[in-house]
Structure 1
Amino acid sequence: METIEGKDVEISHREVLTTNHEPKTDQLIDEALGGNAIEHDLSTLEALRIYKRGVALVALITLTIIMRGYDASVAPTFFALPAFQNRFGHPVPGHGNQVAARWQSALGVSTTVGQVFGSFVATYPMEWYGRRKTLAVYLLLTSAVIPMQVFAPSIQVLTAGEYIGGFFLGAYQVLIPTYSSELLPIILRPYLAGLINTAYNAGGLLMAGISYSFSHWNSEWAYKIPFALQWVWPVIILPIVYLTPESPWWLVRNGKLEEARVALSKLGDENDPRINFDRTVAMMQKTDLFEQKVETGGSLLDCFKGPSRYRTEILIMIFFCQDFAVSPVSAAYFYEQLNIDVTKSFRLNIGGTSIGLFCAIAAAFFLRYFGRRSVYTSGIGVLCVIQMTVGFLQLPPSYNQNGNFATAQIVLLFIASAVYNLTIGPLCYSILTEVPSIRLRSKSVAISIATDAVCGIVTNFVTPYLINPGEANARGKVDFLWGGISFFSFWWCFFRLPETKHRTVEEIDYLFENRVPARRFKGYVIDEEQLRHNLEENHDSRA
């Protein structure tokens, strides 16, 4: 009850949230604590039932990642495609036509170079105009650049088209994890991470299957049709974007509290007794107020200041570790260098990708029972051992005469695909959306995705020179290099990777602001009274 001109007036939840004046701190905190409790109390089945519309919409817009995974696999997969080799390659004695290593490198890094710039540029319209409008515009731009890839008259034009396409595709890797994570409650985050990683694998599997189906074609359409099929995705996804509400977190940050509540009502069932969207919006307000206190701005430079510096370190390292933890090379082309014929190479590529897809789906259910830190660190350790073993199997002098060595390497690569997609593959996306603050989320995610791209540029540029028979011809021995890097990654994870499972955005903010050591995150008890005191101080200083 509040006293206004001598009268007792009851203030409703909605009035606290939608007033044009600053909310009363005590009322806001009480409402927010209720929203925080709701987030923790929801079971997985309850969340899926209440937010079934939101889950469906998120699953559909995540098809965008299939497009990203598909396009990223196009050019590297074509290096082993006879029609592509005949059109853009040159004769190599004993190995038929091969695309020159310099063009393999240029095409291999084209999407990732574009991704570096595209990921950063996308953060600005995301903050100015919202996640929803930005996604729609980028889908239209992607459609416009596909003809340059389909009808490229030379490898130079094709490479340019891949660079431009990569610029737009880089935005999706920032947009989709950021947007999707802001549409669903915390209990569904493991499934969201599994969904994103599954979409990447589905894109790769789709590309592998299509490439195999055209592997016997000699016509130029053997590679033109796979490029043209990229038009399918914008046609499917654009209507879904129209139906999907804007991010409630973005709306709250921009003072559109009632619109945020409406957005939540489009994602979940507001009539369910377990849910109170007014309290959910209050929780978002409270988190935003706290972040305004501890963060002075929202620029890229702010990601490297104060406690945000440690967050940024984590976001950089998770993709650094991931990119070097699996053999960063086109599987089909790598199999060819292990003396496997073209048809079998494509079949093996499909088999390995299928295993990855199955494990990516399983990971969504597997990861809900285990912590981020333990699973990610263990996954890196196992992959390091596999990489070193693949390298040692390449050393025997009788390697070329004994096919068992190549068979063992292929089996290990299949196991590595399974381990990767059960552990570090999906967990990267959980950590990617959990660690950043809301105010710096798009910028932080862009830095992480750019790191992923830079690592991809390095590996995609170097690898052709290492395994190409016309160059170093190192074949499986390249895994000594990647395994050595993974050994370093394992120790970084052990000392620096925190546990963020079952933590709300506000709780994670608190842990980083109070500089809690990584190995204490899991059992640390949040001091809500101290958080209340800090928020009240912040509110008083703004009055």
Structure 2
Amino acid sequence: MAENPPNTSEKKAVGLGIETVEVSNSDLSREGSDPELARARLTRTTTVVDYDVDLAEAAEEAEKEMSFKNAIIADKRLIWYSLGFSGTIIMEGYGFALITYLFSFPVFNKKYGEFDVVKQDYEIRYIWKVLLPLVAQFGSLIGVFLCSFLTSKFGYKYATMGMLVLLAATICVTFFAESVQMLSIGFLLQGIPWGVFQVASPGYASEIASLQLRPILTTWTNLCWVIGQLMASAIVKGFQKYPGDLSFRIPFALQWAFIALLLIIVFFAPESPYWHLQKKKGTNQVQNARLAIKKIVRTGDPEKVEAKLALMQHAIHQERKKQAPDAPGFKGKLGRFVGMFRGVDARRTEIACMAWLIQSMCGSSIIPWAPKLFEGAGLDPSQALSINIALPAAGILGTLGSWGLMRKWGHRAIYFWGLLVMALLLTGCGLASLAPDSIAGWIAGGILAAFTLIYDLTIGPVCYSIVSEMPSIRRRAQTLSAARGTYLLAGLINHFLTPKMVGSDSDSWNWGSKTGFLYAGICAIAAVYTFYRIPDTSEISTRELDILFQHKVKSREFCSQRAKDLDEDLQNRWSENRIFPVAQP
């Protein structure tokens, strides 16, 4: 040890960086024998908003140690608010499923289709089977990239409310449509709010959720999608024999009632506290974040509010220590958007994009087209619609089961093994084409129901959890937009190819259940990527994820303990020159 010990320093974590206050040993001796008290007295006053590091770390440990039951009791308000935002995905799932389900609707085909000499019945032309889902996806793509601007400018709450109002207006176009061209315009416009919902919902859930509830609230998004599909399937089946055009117009109109309910829930929900803390100007943003947290925390307990606020500030501080700057030559939001492909954020963006790409290309695109696949395998339209109801029902059971599975297995393991099992099931679906026509459709239907169950037990819900946890706090909206944009671009390819593969009319390839072979191969390739690149983020806090990515830890080595070993602040705090956080005034 040196003869003259070096000066110690007081390190204060602040909202926008680190403030170091030098305190000499002689100053400490003049103030008394208690070094902590001496540092507190000698600390300079500052106008920068600070937070208590010890309080933040205690809150982080408390979240990890809290049981799932206690987390539900403590965060009842948080759950309801998050479910309100995720409920917007029901609108998306319902609307997208309605487009393809109605293609098996005789009255709908007669209204907007043409007489097909091969089938000797009315059928929507192949070009419109492609274009109607395609324009909806294109509208969603617009909404996805608008979401980054809207949520940064107005926040998750008001961006979501504005899009719900827009969706209610655009439904009028499809409800009163007299031609397939007008339908396409309506679906294009509806796709824009759907795209915003796709990013805003998981983003909001991941920001307000506690560590124990984060997997549930982010994967609930997938359940909402499945609920939307189930509603569309059941309603189309229920109105199949309803006379006249109202048989397919009423399913469009029912969306208005649900929009009204969601508007009420979102209106009373608080804005994400992280959104307030990320605002550059004014210390009032910290107070606004505190008020938002008060609405989230049960009974608004002041101590719990301050602990959660400190935890969020600590996570932002950790992220900004080694975050790559915005891309040179670009300013403002464009600079932040380009910046997500640089430095530490590049890897996080890649994983988020690939996780959603895998979800899109693993065979899930067959599910909305299942009635057509069943028809191609030998079932009549009524039988196809009947067995189709089993698919979203299996999806709901799968998603509910995934919540228990994620508490036992990590996200990475579930993703990997889910892809392998799905590859086997899709191979079985393809082999069903070798069975006699009288039973081939039922075999393919049973296998596809099992595939849907496994998909919604693994890839479907877990993808939302992985993607929502990957981005850094500052670039969350931009990264989620890029990832969802990747998903939608892959969806455009699916919308061109899937109708060709599963269709049975003169414009299609008539592959039927053989389509399973293609997607089985894709699942096998995706499993290899998952093994090497996708980390396990379960039970790892937002701040610990920042540490692991900043130190370029291999995906197979991600864990909370590894983050603690690499935590420089924690190591410095217990070094010879011990550092003490300044208590809040």
Q: What TM-score comes out, normalization by structure 2 length?
A: 0.84
CA contact (8 A) 1:355 1:417 kept: yes
In the alignment, is residue 482 of structure 1 matched against residue 509 of structure 2? no
Within a 5 Å distance, the mapping from 1:281-300 to structure 2 comes to: 281-293=309-321, 294-297=323-326, 299-300=336-337
CA contact (8 A) 2:422 2:451 kept: yes
Within a 5 Å distance, the mapping from 1:108-119 to structure 2 comes to: 108-119=133-144
In the alignment, is residue 258 of structure 1 matched against residue 293 of structure 2? no
CA contact (8 A) 2:357 2:490 kept: yes
The separation in 1 between residues aligned to 2:394 and 2:314, in whole angstroms, is 43
Shift of 1:279: 2.5
The separation in 2 between residues aligned to 1:193 and 1:369, in whole angstroms, is 17
SS of residue paired to 1:182: helix
CA contact (8 A) 1:270 1:277 kept: no
Of 465, 468, 472, 1:430 maps to 465
The separation in 1 between residues aligned to 2:563 and 2:554, in whole angstroms, is 13
Shift of 1:505: 0.7
| Gap change, CA 1:97 and 1:19, over 3 Å in 2 | farther
Shift of 1:272: 5.9
The separation in 2 between residues aligned to 1:268 and 1:156, in whole angstroms, is 49
The separation in 2 between residues aligned to 1:339 and 1:203, in whole angstroms, is 27
Of 84, 93, 96, 2:117 maps to 93
The separation in 1 between residues aligned to 2:46 and 2:379, in whole angstroms, is 69
In the alignment, is residue 365 of structure 1 matched against residue 390 of structure 2? no
| Gap change, CA 1:533 and 1:434, over 3 Å in 2 | same
CA contact (8 A) 2:85 2:204 kept: no
In the alignment, is residue 377 of structure 1 matched against residue 422 of structure 2? no
Give the letter aligned to residue 312 of structure 1. Answer: T
| Cross-structure match for 1:172 | 197
| Gap change, CA 1:41 and 1:327, over 3 Å in 2 | closer
| Gap change, CA 1:207 and 1:532, over 3 Å in 2 | same
CA contact (8 A) 1:50 1:272 kept: no
Cα shift readout 1:414-433 (whole Å, capped 9, x = no counterpart): 11011011111110111111
Cα shift readout 1:493-534 (whole Å, capped 9, x = no counterpart): 111110111011110011111100011113624236514589
Cα shift readout 1:161-202 (whole Å, capped 9, x = no counterpart): 101110111000111111122222011012113321111111
Shift of 1:271: 6.4
Cα shift readout 1:282-335 (whole Å, capped 9, x = no counterpart): 221122123223132362211111121111111111111112223523112221
CA contact (8 A) 1:386 1:416 kept: yes
Within a 5 Å distance, the mapping from 1:19-58 to structure 2 comes to: 20-23=47-50, 28-58=52-82
Worse-matched range after superposition: 319-328 or 239-248: 319-328
| Cross-structure match for 1:63 | 87
Worse-matched range after superposition: 505-514 or 211-220: 211-220
| Cross-structure match for 1:246 | 271
Within a 5 Å distance, the mapping from 1:86-235 to structure 2 comes to: 86-95=110-119, 96-235=121-260
Worse-matched range after superposition: 512-521 or 361-370: 361-370
- Higher-Rg structure is 2
SS of residue paired to 2:122: strand
In the alignment, is residue 417 of structure 1 matched against residue 444 of structure 2? no
CA contact (8 A) 1:327 1:387 kept: no
Shift of 1:66: 0.8
Of 285, 291, 307, 1:279 maps to 307
The separation in 1 between residues aligned to 2:456 and 2:482, in whole angstroms, is 23
The separation in 1 between residues aligned to 2:413 and 2:259, in whole angstroms, is 38
Query: Unaligned 5+ residue runs, structure 2?
Result: 1-9, 11-20, 24-29, 327-332
| Cross-structure match for 1:505 | 542
Give the letter aligned to residue 526 of structure 1. Answer: K
Cα shift readout 1:319-365 (whole Å, capped 9, x = no counterpart): 11112223523112221221211221111111121111122122223
Aligned length: 525
Shift of 1:219: 1.4
| Cross-structure match for 1:527 | 565
In the alignment, is residue 301 of structure 1 matched against residue 326 of structure 2? no
The separation in 1 between residues aligned to 2:80 and 2:156, in whole angstroms, is 17
Give the letter aligned to residue 100 of structure 1. Answer: R
CA contact (8 A) 2:294 2:300 kept: no
When the two chains are superposed, the root-mean-square deviation of aligned CA atoms in Å is 2.8
CA contact (8 A) 1:115 1:171 kept: yes
Shift of 1:266: 1.0
Q: What TM-score comes out, normalization by structure 1 length?
A: 0.91
The separation in 2 between residues aligned to 1:99 and 1:277, in whole angstroms, is 56
Give the letter aligned to residue 289 of structure 1. Answer: H
Shift of 1:60: 2.7
| Cross-structure match for 2:13 | none
Identical residues among aligned pairs (%): 27
Q: Which has the higher contact order (CA 8 A, sep 6+)?
A: 1
| Cross-structure match for 2:488 | 453
Give the letter aligned to residue 388 of structure 1. Answer: T
